[in-house]
Structure 1
Amino acid sequence: MSEEVTIGDCRLILGDCREVLPTLPMVDAVIVDPPYSKRCHAGHDSVAGVASSRVLGYSALSPAGVADLAAEYAMLCRGWIVWMTDSELALAVRRALESVGRYAFAPLPFYQPGRSVRLSGDGPCSWTDWIVVARTKAQSKWGTLPGGYVAGPGWNDKARMGGKPTHLMRALVSDYSRPGDLVLDTHMGAGTTGVACALEGRRFIGVENDRDAFDIACERIDNAYRQGQMFPSGPIHKQEQGALI
């Protein structure tokens, strides 16, 4: 049984996205950060505690799971699909989106220097996530969009609340949707995409299966609306987004 909370233009749903998705309306964009690959999760959890990081409380995503999600997103979304993943799954995500009739672009990097350390010291640290974006024919006139994102000063807010940096999500929401659009995130986590939508003037549907994360998301999105009322600064400026590739 799902539970819903409405905050401003954000509809937040506590429940399993596999059960919730068939009940949702059409959306203008999907901007999502689902679980990563089995290899990524195993590497993360093997050093959790040693690095004072949190053991991931959810399962890794398989290529079959990627295909299932891509089919659901294609049925629900009339606009851009923006899917964050790791290097292991990036090609599977691109192929899955192409298989459901979307034009999928080469993965875009999100590069955050210094965000992690390879504790065994046997090779390079992983400072990059990958963003696969796909469109319908209707988005072919949007013009040139950024070729990637590089974290800048002030992007480290995820250290205190988990998930992706707010600046990154504001940039993605701004680049791949328009004011008033309805944005969907099926794996909302701590609600950073919802925060970005609240600050950027988009409507939002977020789905999250974990009660603790859901409660944090509700609080953060409520705070974002309060912040917007106190400091109505409008859309994020490009110079605040760090470097664009």
Structure 2
Amino acid sequence: MKREVIGDAVLYLADCREVLPTLQRVAAVIVDPPYGIGDTDARARATKWQRAAGMEAREWDREPVSELAEVLALGDVQVVWGGNYYPLKPSRGWLTWFKPDAPPSMASLELAWTNLDRNARQFSWSIGATNAERVGHPTQKPLALMRWCQEQAGNPASVLDAYMGSGTTGVAAVMAGASFIGIEREPAYFDIACRRIEQAQRQAALFAHDAPAAMEQAGLGF
């Protein structure tokens, strides 16, 4: 296990099952866990942008995770991207990401289960608009999507992502002024997440009076 503290973010290079028993509750758990849909044909079916970003057979995505209930128990608000692949409680507060430019080989939208008792909401964001921020994770979510997701969760003061990947949820948390706990077991993705979150912390410090608006206006990317 490796632990890095970057401003208000605490990042663990570990299997989340090792870390979960040591954590306190947070305002929101926002996760995008493996769904169990990885296959050896992933690269063949990928778009040119996905191949450039490192799309390959997802050995880490062979089966759904088994500890999701333990992860969700740590958050008052719970958001699970790919929640339609898990046996979660009925909910009317689903979030969706609509991809207007999705090719035939990809889904036109992705679903996030929440424990929120409210109307479902949809966010439209093209795949092409995300290309400039890709850092090499094959299932990287757009930063704009994860910022919207946290807004839908009520702008929580603290966020846990137990399947951090390249750190997009953490960057969104930093931009919103929230504390963040991230866990990732793949060293390459962990290092990317550390760099992105450290950059976000530095840029947030430069725009401390109104970090999200100022950073957006300046066109600072992640």
- Asked if these proteins are the same fold (TM beyond 0.5), I'd say yes
TM-aligned CA distance change 1:76 to 1:115, over 3 Å: same
Asked whether the equivalents of residues 11 and 181 of structure 2 are also in contact (C-alpha less than 8 Å), the reply is: yes
1:202 match: 178
Asked whether the equivalents of residues 34 and 84 of structure 1 are also in contact (C-alpha less than 8 Å), the reply is: yes
2:113 match: 132
TM-aligned CA distance change 1:107 to 1:157, over 3 Å: farther
Runs of 4+ in 1 over 6 A off after TM superposition: none
2:91 match: 104
Cα distance per residue 1:105-136 (max 9 Å; x no partner): 35332012224453xxxxxx42311111114x
Q: Secondary structure at the match of 2:107?
A: coil
* Counterpart code for 2:62: A
- In structure 2, what is the Cα distance between the partners aligned to 1:6 and 1:47? 38
Asked whether the equivalents of residues 80 and 134 of structure 1 are also in contact (C-alpha less than 8 Å), the reply is: yes
1:60 match: 62
Asked whether the equivalents of residues 188 and 208 of structure 1 are also in contact (C-alpha less than 8 Å), the reply is: yes
Give the deviation of 1:60 after TM superposition. 3.0
Asked whether the equivalents of residues 171 and 236 of structure 1 are also in contact (C-alpha less than 8 Å), the reply is: no
Runs of 5+ unmatched residues, structure 1:
119-124, 241-245
2:124 match: 150
TM-aligned CA distance change 1:105 to 1:212, over 3 Å: same
Give the deviation of 1:146 after TM superposition. 6.3
* Counterpart code for 1:22: P
TM-score by length of 2: 0.80
1:166 match: 143
TM-aligned CA distance change 1:201 to 1:33, over 3 Å: same
* Counterpart code for 1:4: R
Give the deviation of 1:201 after TM superposition. 0.6
Q: Secondary structure at the match of 1:104?
A: coil
Within the candidate set 74, 77, 82, 1:76 is matched to 74
2:220 match: none
Q: Secondary structure at the match of 2:26?
A: coil
Q: Secondary structure at the match of 1:28?
A: strand
TM-aligned CA distance change 1:76 to 1:44, over 3 Å: farther
Runs of 5+ unmatched residues, structure 2:
218-222
2:19 match: 20
Asked whether the equivalents of residues 5 and 13 of structure 1 are also in contact (C-alpha less than 8 Å), the reply is: yes
TM-aligned CA distance change 1:84 to 1:225, over 3 Å: same
- In structure 2, what is the Cα distance between the partners aligned to 1:173 and 1:220? 18
Cα distance per residue 1:62-101 (max 9 Å; x no partner): 3xx45x31x2134312x2111111xxx60x53x42x2xxx
* Counterpart code for 2:13: L
Asked whether the equivalents of residues 93 and 121 of structure 2 are also in contact (C-alpha less than 8 Å), the reply is: no
TM-score by length of 1: 0.73
Q: Secondary structure at the match of 1:148?
A: strand
Within the candidate set 62, 81, 101, 1:114 is matched to 101
TM-aligned CA distance change 1:184 to 1:201, over 3 Å: same
